[in-house]
Structure 1
Amino acid sequence: MEQRKVAIVTGGSQGIGAGVVEGYRRLGYAVVANSRSIAPSTEPDLVTVQGDIGDPAVAERIVATAIERFGRIDSLVNNAGIFIAKPFTDYTQDDFAAMLHTNLGGFFQLTRLVIPHMIEQGAGHIVSITTTLVEQANSVIPSVLASITKGGIASATKSLAIEYAHRGIRVNAVSPGIIRTPLQTEEAYRALASIHPVGRIGEVDEVVHGVLYLEQAGFVTGEFLHVDGGQSAGH
């Protein structure tokens, strides 16, 4: 009998992350989900690990939990992230440290620990959630620290895809536009809808569909899938 596949999802307690957790469960995967505030799980196919993903000890605990509970790691979704929109000169040292710690630190700590398990299996898939603002800057949403951190992950996606293609590991990214999550108010979403050529904001399920497409697309690696209502195409 084939062993059940296992996915790790960071930032899994709400918004896109919670949607991705449920998406993988619908595919029949067992899931290890992490966030600072995630609740304990009583479901047999879902285990949660609470903690700050930028902390190396938390990343180690997530990987150890996946191996101890389910015996393998097939997929990693680097979803956890923070977004602080300010004019560049208004950013503080604390803003800078926080975004480096969560966005880049979380990606680095967990991806580095997961890849050896995927090499041992001869297969694996890593998906990171970035933002179209990395490629299409917009003065309405000043976002230099997102460009530094999420942009770094975008570059690393292609580098990792090439480095590990011969080991059976695929590495991709999903680049969302503005998505309806608990992060913003409805008034803010109405104001932000015009950023997208299609004239509306995106929904969590639309990003989840993108992640799951990449999960099942065995010939796709090093790809940025834009789920952004045409934002990356132009204005």
Structure 2
Amino acid sequence: MSTPRTVIVTGASSGIGLGLAQAYLDRGYNVVGNARSQAGLDAAAATLGQPERFLGVVGDVADPSTATQMVERAVARFGQVDVLVNNAGFFLPKPFIDYSAEELESLLATNLKGVVYMSQAAARHMIERRQGHIVNISASVALQPNLAVPAALPVLIKGGVNQMTRALALELSPFNIQVNAVAPGIIDTPMHDPAHRDFLNGLQPAGRLGRTEEIADAVLYLSSAGFTTGAVLPVDGGMSSGTW
């Protein structure tokens, strides 16, 4: 690429987010990565090892000022924002009646408000440029709930993100902005206890956990797809295809 493209990745300090940051750097992108702590960003920067093309921004995506700051700093450092990946989030499975009010607020803040604020800030910039891509990281369980993994509130919130993806794809289409989502199954990251691996493997028809690079491949495709918008792409080893 003669002029490197720039991507914002929220939740970039570990897991899928760190894998996405690495994949974009490998493709020649400039990367603006977000995390809640400076220590997390410092560790990510050390792992990625390309300080000239990686800019870390500390902040909580549930705070709208974080979104504004990320876009402004991306533009100041690299000139524009071409892609936003709304990756920041967490998964909290438990019986529906056991969710507390505090857990609901926390899920809504990070998994929903963070997507809204970041998308608004990026869309304002992309509308001016009349081009851009927004990719939301959803969840396979929002496409096909699973009795073995009770998670009604994550399903509610990620399901809302899926519908917002479709609505924004229509609304932003006149500005040449594509909006899509990737719905991962269970991905092999440090958050999973190795003692639970056999159980987790059995939740996908493929019989194994997904890899972060498999999510990155899907996100990278949607980052440059000119004729795909409003799609929610499962990358889940068949988990969302139905019950088995």
TM-score, L = length of structure 1:
0.96
**Counterpart of 1:63?**
71
SS of residue paired to 2:85: strand
Q: 2:34 touches 2:58 (CA, 8 Å); kept in 1?
A: yes
Structure 2 distance, partners of 1:129, 1:201, is: 17
Q: Does 1:180 align with 2:188?
A: yes
Q: Does 1:14 align with 2:14?
A: yes
Q: Does 1:127 align with 2:129?
A: no
With 3-12 and 72-81 compared, the bigger mean Cα shift is at: 3-12
Query: Of 196, 199, 203, which residue of structure 1 is paired with 2:207?
Result: 199
Query: Of 39, 42, 50, which residue of structure 1 is paired with 2:41?
Result: 39
Q: Does 1:50 align with 2:58?
A: yes
Q: 1:180 touches 1:189 (CA, 8 Å); kept in 2?
A: no
- Name the count of aligned residue pairs: 235
Structure 2 distance, partners of 1:125, 1:227, is: 19
Query: Of 145, 151, 162, which residue of structure 2 is paired with 1:154?
Result: 162
How many Å apart are 1:2 and its aligned residue? 4.8
Query: Of 213, 216, 220, which residue of structure 1 is paired with 2:224?
Result: 216
**Counterpart of 1:99?**
107
Structure 2 letter corresponding to 1:29: Y
Structure 2 distance, partners of 1:117, 1:233, is: 37
Structure 2 distance, partners of 1:164, 1:60, is: 19
With 32-41 and 43-52 compared, the bigger mean Cα shift is at: 32-41
Structure 1 distance, partners of 2:64, 2:196, is: 35
SS of residue paired to 1:49: strand
How many Å apart are 1:216 and its aligned residue? 2.6
Structure 1 letter corresponding to 2:28: G
TM-score, L = length of structure 2:
0.93
Query: Aligned residues: percent identity?
Result: 43
Q: 1:29 touches 1:45 (CA, 8 Å); kept in 2?
A: yes
SS of residue paired to 2:233: strand
**Counterpart of 2:97?**
89
Structure 2 distance, partners of 1:92, 1:16, is: 27
Structure 2 distance, partners of 1:2, 1:201, is: 37
Structure 1 distance, partners of 2:176, 2:80, is: 15
Deviations 1:116-154 (A, max 9, x none): 111111110000111111121111111111112111111
Cα RMSD (Å): 1.3
How many Å apart are 1:39 and its aligned residue? 2.1
Deviations 1:139-187 (A, max 9, x none): 1111111112111111000000011111100000001110011211112
With 133-142 and 92-101 compared, the bigger mean Cα shift is at: 133-142
SS of residue paired to 2:34: strand
